[in-house]
Structure 1
Amino acid sequence: MDIAALTFLALGLPFIAAIIAPVLARLLGHNAAWVLALAPAAVFAHFLTFVPEVANGEVVTGGYAWIPSFNVSFSWLVDGLSLTFLLLISGIGALIVLYSGGNLKGHPHQGRFFSFILMFMGSMQGLVASDSFLMLFVFWELTSITSFLLIGFDHGREAARRAALQALVVTGGGGLLLLAGLLILWNVSGVTQMSLLLSFGAELKQSPFYLAALLLVLGGAFTKSAQFPFHFWLPNAMEAPTPVSAYLHSATMVKAGVYLLMRLNPVLGGTPEWQVILPLFGATTLVAGALLAVRQTDLKLMLAYTTMSSLGLLVMLTGLGLPHAIEAATLYLVAHALFKGALFMVAGIIDHETGTRHLTRLGGLRSAMPLTFAIALAAAISMGGLPPFFGFLAKEEIYAALSAFELRSVAFAALTILGNALMFAVAFAIALMPFLGPKVSTPKHAHEAPVLLWLGPGVLALSGLSIALMSGLAHRMVSSPMASAIAGKPTPVEISLVPHIGVPLLLSGITVAAGIAFYLNLVRLRGAMATVLADIGWGPDRGFDQFMRGLVRSAVIVTRRVQGGRLDVYMTLTFLLVAFVLLAIPFLYGEFPRAPFFAADVPLHELAIMTIAVAGLVAIMIAPDRLTAIVSLGIQGFAVAMIFLLYGAPDLSFTQFMIETLSVVVLALVMTRLQLSPSDHRPWREKVPDFALALACGTGFALLLLRVTGVPFDASLTAFFNEYSKAIAHGANVVNVIIVDFRGTDTLGEITVVMIAGLSILGLVRLRAGALKRPVVAAVLVEEEDAEERV
């Protein structure tokens, strides 16, 4: 099997595993996790083989044509950026599947959860590997849908349903903005693939549509990556099971927006707009998330807000445009995925083994859970930016990018120090406070977690240490190719664990000192933030509820006004619009047809047919009852059928005769069955407007037909059908071939409409028959109710 087929299989393997997951869970229980984890492990192994090739600066592309006429393909792009994401998604995904087996052991819907998490995994892989704009958007929305299923997994709780709906609305709405942005990029560049778009940076930046495309793309990225003020859905998503939080909301999905910004940096980056909007929103999100994190006592909420803060830091670094900023973003993205995924799983272990995850109800767990404590401490050291973990390298590179002595760098350095120091305090609060100090009584007897629970966070924490110790190899194989793909030019990453004396190390020391101070005064900070938030009151989360209520109320009002339930109003408005369109265009644009020329030698039989049609019209208008009007209506159809016959279209004439005959018969039978009033008793003041409306529509169609027939006949379509009906559809009857083959879908639609109309007629007949019997049935029911009451 060639590399393209293997890559296609690797991208689809999680979806295949998702299909069989419920069956395996039913057969093997929580042990199914060991089998299902083989799928992401195999994907990880496959993409690991790409590392040497990508490290040499090569880009792997491939795929299959989907809709060649529209240049739409299922194609992938594997470079340093997408390869790093693919390895994180599949590698952490395998650990998350194992962790889910232990965390949800005994859950009645564990198989469904495995299926959802694997579907998300496949969607996220497709997103970061997509080269096609369309496939990128499809997988982007699939991540929103699968995250909706995962967040609302415990659908019996209202909070989980609300959080899932909120995440879907925010990220789904952002997806629509992204689609509009991609369409603009397509329109400006003329290409539909990322690999080709990367060479159109200059054209896009000079385009008058650049700002519109940038804002739309940022709308999609900011909502997905929880940037302020779209951040509120991320903390609420903690209603999901802990494996979801550890996977989606720290390592993968929330970084999709960051991935998009990094991917488009060579195309949209480097402009004043880019370097103002991204750092501004990113720094705001960084500080806001860190301040909101210290307010919380729930371990998952503390981690959620610091995740929001870290995403803001990544967005800020991506947009700064300073030397070493891209390298810093590269290192921090990988480091964050490792330490935050581990800490989320540690929070889940604590909750699973003690019955609570609130910081104020935990303490003294070190002796009961020594391995979990060691893992938590290792991950916290990396999150705090201390050696010898990978987080230290990321923090040093961040401060190297912000060490220039200029106002802009100083301002963002101050904000970064504040945010990092607060995250330092939160990291060690999670790693130390539950385990140290006097032992606190917990709802469950605390003990060490089984292997399925500690294996995942243990591997991630150990990876943060191993990668830092082998930083040279890691940079050559992963960091440098990723930074080069983001920057759009060769960008080597060279930082190591050996500290460089200078401004970066000084800023790092200030961060650690401030973090220790914040940690020691965490209770006071929590109280101060609670007071500030109480004084502010309103926030985006509450605003979302108000927006949704307003949206529902507006929909109700509009529906009541527009859909009042009266068929005559609907039909009147429809024909008014038709008449307006048909008559307004000729008046506005002077497209009136020339006056029709009537020859003096019109054949007598044609005049007779036209006379019959007019006579039928008069008969309809003066008919004494509706049954007569229906029969008279058939006269019009027969006249049209005769015209078709006279002008050489016997097949159309035959079809028209059949339709008119059946229509008259069916309508007559239905009208008789429904026992409608025998005549129209409305006064003339109600009939005149209907007459005027009918006359306007008829006049409009007459003008349109005269204008169309006045245009020189274009026989190209006729020639096409004559040439290809026999060659392609193997039919000698051109009309039949057009209906059955060339317009097969249209014919199917017409058949469907006729079927629906028949079912509607049957429903009306039965409804009328039921209405006639209803009084008898109602009387019987009343008697039975009275009898029950007497008993």
Structure 2
Amino acid sequence: MPEMTSDMTWVAMLLPFAAAVLAPWIVSRLGANGAWVLALAPALAFAHFAGFLPEIANGERVTGGYAWVPSLNLSFSWFIDGLSLTFALLITGIGTLIVLYAGGYMKGHPQQGRFIGFILLFMGAMLGLVVSDSFLMLFVFWELTSITSFLLIGFDHTREASRRAALQALVVTGGGGLILLAGMIFIWNITGVSQLSLLLSTGDALRESPFYLAALLLVLGGAFTKSAQFPFHFWLPNAMEAPTPVSAYLHSATMVKAGVYLLMRLNPVMGETPAWEILLPFFGGITLIVGSVLAVRQTDLKLMLAYTTVASLGLLVMLTGFDTEHAVEAAVLYLVAHSLFKGALFMVAGAIDHEAGTRDITRLGGLGKLMPITFTAAILSGVSMAGLPPLFGFLAKEEIYYALAGSDPRAILFTAVAVIGNALMFVIAFAVGLKPFIGKEGPTPKHAHEGPVLLWIGPLTLAILSLLGALFSGLAHRFISSPMASAVDGEAQTVTIGLIPSLGAALALSVLTVLIGLVLYLGIERLRAAVDRLVTGLGISPDRGFDHFIAGLVRFSTSVTRLVQNGRLETYITLSFVFIAAVLLVTPIVFNELPRDLVLPRDVDLHEMAILVIAVIGVIAVLTAKDRLTAIVCLGIQGFAVAVIFLLYGAPDLSFTQFMVETLSVIILALVMTRLRLSLSDHRPMAARLFDGSLAIACGLGFGLMLAASTSGPFDGSLSAFFAEHSKIIAHGANVVNVIIVDFRGVDTLGEIAVVMITGLSILALIRIRVGGAPAAPAMAPPGASAEGIRPSKTKGGKRS
């Protein structure tokens, strides 16, 4: 496939971030009109990506980027084909309209600039996600969308419901992102590539790997949480606590489709397997039914749209995993159609709430005469959502039935699922797009009237685009649908469906959907009551399950914290040595890496043996010491013995360092011990002594075995030769040891110095601890002192010092 490069794409990617930084300042100066200025950033980005349409339509791909860590094959790179280009255009195009809409919707809000800034930050993150080529770059932007959506959902942070919804969305989607990271690492290790453009050329490498199922499950974990698939669907309706511009942008047109984007992107290399074709349609079908049924139960316009968004995402996942010839084409058409009509309907719901003061459908009516432009946008978008001509949604629905219809049981099952789901979404489409605007005016808190241009320009533009996309379907397919379908399928595809339907099963299913939808719409009140009784009777709520999960997690973490972080230094040291012993002993035993040939010294000089004997005597002295101060002094014997061994084997620098460390350790420990209230001797019970002794032996044995294993193999002198050769040339130092410490591992040395400094400050603070305003009395008091230690002296003023 031919490729072209673009060196300016990074500018388009950075435009939303730059506008986000300037948003508070611009809005503070221009007010709501600042939205027109800020909308220029996504509009320019849209123009940049629209410039690629002819090349992408001709089968080319756009790449570019910069090497970041070449040795690890990490890069900041982008990859644009029909799939990523369509998403980029939706993100920047709808994003431009959302910025304008936010300017009108949030007019007068003291934090309007901050809000639009968050919108633009999310836009940049989502744009980076869909054009990323590097796995690492995709993951960074993936998690950034979760963080920015957290800020947007919890924008009204004074409300508990907003804070809870934001936290819930962050936990679910952020946790899914970590699962996705593991899946990407699996894919990286299986294929050896870390870029999507290269991954698509690996053929069946992923499908044939024994780790394919593990990688697939991890990828699905990330995609399902982001795109609100059952049983993770609950976070999306709760996210409706966010202001309506957030709902219209994040939770209909962009963020929630990130998971669908990922599945579509990986379809050429992970699709067409039994696991793919079972899991995706199964979970997608369940999500479609659950979302559409729960939507009918709602009376809040935003919640009705939110649950149908869940249903639509399920339909997209189901189609992506289906294995028929036109399933990919149907998924592509429906994704574009859904972005247009759902974004418009959410903005309509926000405009109704803004002007009428309520989103309760039972209190709304007669708004058509009062808000004619909004009504026009609503009815066009509702018709598209219902799948009726002459809107783009009709093309998508016809292609869906054309792809699913079949005579085998599997096709019949999923076709029935699609008919039921689409019929229920037909009900919601007219409940939102028509019902509030007809009949007599309802008892709304405010007397409604048409909103300002910033409130209706967005939904009207999207509705008109849905109409034009269907009327000029040939152009839409050439530049959008066909290139996107080709990218998802991995092979060239040509979408040809138009407004004139062909007689057959697809048209019959469409008619059946409309008839069922009309019947259910006419009895929507009874339907709502029946669904409410059904859901209440079942008593199943993943939302409550999430609350129980979080509560249990908090209790578990509290218990673990109390166990391992109990404030006792003894516990921390014991746990540290337990893990050290486990790593040193369990790992070589499990992996059969114990040293086989122990190399024992043959010629040991008398003075060397004497030093070893002194070290052993020091150990015995420590163990048999009657008081702590004697044990501390005896403890230095081992350190001095090791220092002498370093000296005998030609390491005077290391020996000097060891002497200094041991001397300071003995002095500092003795000083500290004399300032703490400790018993003179060790009063631990025998069981504690045996455990500590066993732990010490285990650690010593582990280190001994590790050293034996390290020295039993052939010596690799390449590193020594490198330092000897380059120390003088690079670091201008003749002493190789000094050069290593100061230059080659200077940062490590700096860290060690910092640790020593912090330790010294901690010891100083410990020494200066005062009890009741006086210095702490020595633990090892001299003979004749009171049990409370030395009494503090008095100053001339009678105050204790």
TM (norm. structure 1) is 0.92
Q: Does 1:65 align with 2:67?
A: yes
What do the CA deviations read for 1:622-657 (whole angstroms, capped 9, x no partner)? 555434443443343333333323322222223223
1:178-218 deviation per Cα after TM superposition (whole angstroms, max 9, x unaligned): 22222222222221111111122323222222222222222
Q: Which amino acid aligns with 1:125?
A: L
1:451-470 per-residue CA deviation (whole Å, 9 max, x = no partner) reads: 11111111111111122222
- Tell me what 1:180 maps to: 182
Q: Deviations over 1:399-457 (max 9, x none)?
A: 22234444333332222122111111111111222221121232223221111111111
- Taking the aligned partners of 1:334 and 1:712, their CA distance within structure 2 comes to 64
Would the aligned equivalents of 1:674 and 1:768 in 2 still touch at CA under 8 Å?
no
Please give the residue correspondences for 1:650-665 in structure 2 after superposition, counting only pairs within 5 Å: 650-665=652-667
Task: Give the Å deviation of 1:278.
Answer: 1.6
Pair 715,416 (structure 1): closer, same or farther in 2 beyond 3 Å: same
Match of 2:600 in 1: 596
Note if 1:645 corresponds to 2:681: no
1:479 to 455, 478, 481: 481
Alignment match, 2:169:
167
Q: Say whether 1:374 aligns with 2:376.
A: yes
Instruction: Describe the SS at the equivalent of 2:451.
Output: coil
Equivalence map 1:698-737=2 (5 Å)? 698-737=700-739
The equivalent position to 2:562 in structure 1, one of 560, 570, 573, is: 560
Aligned mates of 2:589, 2:317 — CA distance in 1: 55
The answer to whether the 8 A contact 1:596-1:706 is kept is no
Partner of 2:412: 410
SS at match of 1:206: coil
In the superposition, relative to structure 1, how do residues 630 and 244 fare at CA in structure 2: closer, same or farther (>3 Å)?
same
Q: Per-residue deviation at 1:296?
A: 0.3
Aligned to 2:541: 539
Show the counterpart of 1:247: 249
Give 1:779's aligned residue: none
Match of 1:784 in 2: none
What CA distance in whole angstroms lies between the structure 1 residues aligned with 2:398 and 2:701? 78
Task: Compute the RMSD of aligned alpha carbons.
Answer: 2.4
Query: What does the per-residue CA deviation read over 1:487-525, in whole Å, with 9 as the maximum and x for residues that have no partner?
Result: 111111112222333332222222222221111111010
**Is the 8 Å Cα contact of residues 383 and 391 (structure 1) preserved in structure 2?**
yes
Question: After the TM superposition, which residues 384-395 of structure 1 pair with which residues of structure 2 at under 5 Å, given as runs?
Answer: 384-395=386-397
Contact kept, 8 Å, 2:228 with 2:234, in 1: the verdict is: yes
Letter in structure 2 aligned against 1:570 = Y
8 Å CA contact retained: 2:23, 2:38: yes
Deviation at 1:346, TM superposition (A): 0.6
Deviates more, 1:656-665 or 1:192-201: 656-665
Give the Cα–Cα distance (whole angstroms) in 2 for the partners of residues 677 and 368 of structure 1. Answer: 86
Q: Aligned pair in 2 of structure 1 residues 334, 595: CA closer, same or farther (>3 Å)?
A: closer
Distance 2:64 2:588 in 1: 52
* 1:344 Cα deviation from its structure 2 partner: 0.2
User: What is the distance in 2 between the residues matched to 1:44 and 1:31?
Assistant: 21
The one of 19, 22, 29 equivalent to 2:21 is: 19
Match of 1:344 among 343, 346, 361: 346
Q: Match for 1:230 among 217, 228, 232?
A: 232
Secondary structure of the residue that 1:205 maps to in structure 2? coil
Counterpart position of 1:9? 11
Quote the Cα distance in structure 2 between the aligned partners of 1:449 and 1:195.
46
| 2:309 matched residue in structure 1 | 307
The one-letter code sitting in structure 2 at the alignment partner of 1:596 is L
Deviations 1:739-785 (A, max 9, x none): 233223322332232233234324433444467589xxxxxxxxxxx
Counterpart for residue 134 of structure 1: 136
Distance in 1 between the 2:359 and 2:263 partners?
34
User: What is the deviation of 1:261?
Assistant: 1.2
| Structure 2: runs of 5+ lacking an equivalent | 777-801
Q: Distance in 2 between matches of 1:134 and 1:587?
A: 35
Distance, in Å, in 1 between the alignment partners of 2:373 and 2:279 is 44
C-alpha deviation, 1:689, in angstroms: 4.7
| Counterpart position of 2:748 | 746
Structure 1 residue 668 displacement after superposition: 3.2
Residues 5 and 62 of structure 2 are in contact (CA less than 8 Å); yes or no, is this contact kept in structure 1?
no
Quick check: 1:593–1:703 contact (8 Å CA) kept in 2?
Answer: no
Q: What SS does the corresponding residue of 1:64 show, helix, strand or coil?
A: strand
Q: 1:729 to 1:55 in 2, by over 3 A?
A: farther
Deviations 1:596-620 (A, max 9, x none): 33536x154x455445544544554
How far apart are 1:567 and its partner, in Å? 2.6
* Deviation for aligned residue 1:687: 4.3
Unaligned runs of 5+ in 1: 775-791
Query: 1:465-544 maps to which residues of 2 (within 5 A)?
Result: 465-544=467-546
Listed one character per residue, the Cα deviations across residues 224-254 of structure 1 (whole Å, up to 9, x for unaligned) are 1111121111111111111110001000011
In 1, distance between residues paired with 2:743 and 2:280? 53
What is the rounded CA distance, in whole Å, between the counterparts of 2:697 and 2:403 in structure 1? 75
Give the AA of the match of 1:591: P
When residues 490 and 240 of structure 1 are mapped into structure 2, their CA distance, relative to the original with a 3 A threshold, is same
User: Which residue of the partner structure matches residue 202 of structure 1?
Assistant: 204
The one-letter code of the counterpart of 1:656 is Q
Q: Cα distance 1:550–1:58, how it changes in 2: closer, same or farther (>3 A)?
A: same
Instruction: Give 3-state SS (helix, strand or coil) of 2:314's partner.
Output: helix
Greater mean alpha carbon deviation, residues 757-766 or residues 47-56: 757-766
Amino acid of the structure 2 residue aligned with 1:118: L
When normalised by structure 2's length, the TM-score is: 0.91
Counterparts of 2:571 and 2:400, CA distance in 1: 66
SS of 2:369's equivalent? coil
Deviations 1:56-89 (A, max 9, x none): 0001111111111111111111000100000000
- The CA deviation string for residues 511-540 of structure 1, in whole angstroms up to 9 with x for no partner, is 222221111111010000010011001221
Alignment of 1:106 onto 2:137: no
Please tell me the residue identity of whatever aligns with 1:498.
I
Contact 1:354–1:444 (8 Å) recurs in 2? yes
Q: Which has the higher helix share?
A: 1
1:144 aligns with 2:146: yes
Residue in 1 aligned with 2:158? 156
Tell me, yes or no, if structure 1 residue 46 matches structure 2 residue 61: no
1:755 aligned onto 2:762: no
Task: Measure, in 2, the Cα distance between the counterparts of 1:251 and 1:587.
Answer: 54
- Could you tell me which amino acid in structure 2 is paired with residue 358 of structure 1? D
Structure 1 residues 268-299: Cα deviation after superposition (integer angstroms, max 9, x where no partner):
11222222222222222112211111110000
Corresponding residue for residue 782 of structure 1: none
Contact 1:575 1:697 in 2 (8 A): yes
Aligned-partner residue type, residue 366 of structure 1:
G
Kindly state the Cα deviation for residue 351 of structure 1 after the two structures are TM-superposed.
0.9
Give me the whole-angstrom Cα distance separating, in 1, the residues matched to 2:441 and 2:308: 27
Q: Which amino acid letter does the alignment assign opposite residue 599 of structure 1?
A: D
Question: Partners in 2 of 1:709 and 1:473 — Cα distance?
Answer: 72
1:401 to 1:356, Cα distance in 2 relative to 1, 3 A: same
Q: Please give the secondary structure, in 1, of the residue aligned with 2:370.
A: coil
- What's the counterpart of residue 676 of structure 2? 674
Q: Equivalent residue of 2:658, what SS?
A: helix
Which digits, 9 at most, give the CA deviation of each residue in 1:368-396, with x for residues without a partner?
21211111111111111122211111122
| Aligned mates of 1:73, 1:539 — CA distance in 2 | 43
Distance 1:200 1:702, change over 3 A: closer
Q: Distance in 2 between matches of 1:540 and 1:437?
A: 37
More moved, 686-695 vs 46-55: 686-695
- The equivalent residue for 2:782 is none
**Aligned to 2:552, what secondary structure does the other structure show?**
helix
1:729–1:45 CA distance, 2 compared to 1 (3 A)? farther
Paired with 2:215 and 2:454, the residues of 1 have a C-alpha distance of 45
Matched with 2:218 is 216
The Cα offsets for residues 473-495 of structure 1, whole Å up to 9 and x where unpaired, read as 11111111111111111111112
